[in-house]
Amino acid sequence: MAHPFPESAVAALLALALVGCGEVGDVARPAAAPPPQASAEDPGRTAATPASPSLTPLTTPEQVIESLPIGRPDPFAPITQTAAPSAAAAAALPAGLRFTGVIGSGGGARAFVQIGAASGVLCLGPRGRCADGAADQLLLPPGWTVSTIDATSGRLTLRLGAQRRVLALQS
């Protein structure tokens, strides 16, 4: 059955009906808050009135500026020397660490250590990890680095940041 109106007219009527339905009913919209009034003592500054007594008022720009330190330290003042770290402040070795042996092979040296119940091999580098996977178990905690392994003198040097600890084999 054919409609007396063409399809484009029906589509236009539907579009108008949908647009017109957007504002149906008397919906109460909140009124916009009036702009803040300039205070009598400072015309450039608006008066802040808290909406509720339980709210904390924000700091004013003047309070922020007053809280900033003025000036800078004297660049020509003598440099104060910081005290060297004491033996007590030196990096403590991992608990139960024992340096048990060293072997030189091929062009590199490896250190044998025991930490608690675990024992294994350390190579040069972060946490003593060996490139060939010989030390699958990382014995040293994060941050520790093996900096030198001296097979001829039996010494192992560990670093934690700028602090260095040298371990020697006991004869």
Below-50 pLDDT ranges, the chain: 24, 87-88, 135
pLDDT, mean over the chain: 74
> What gap in Å lies between CA 164 and CA 171, rounded to an integer?
22
State the pTM of this model.
0.45
**pLDDT at position 147:** 92
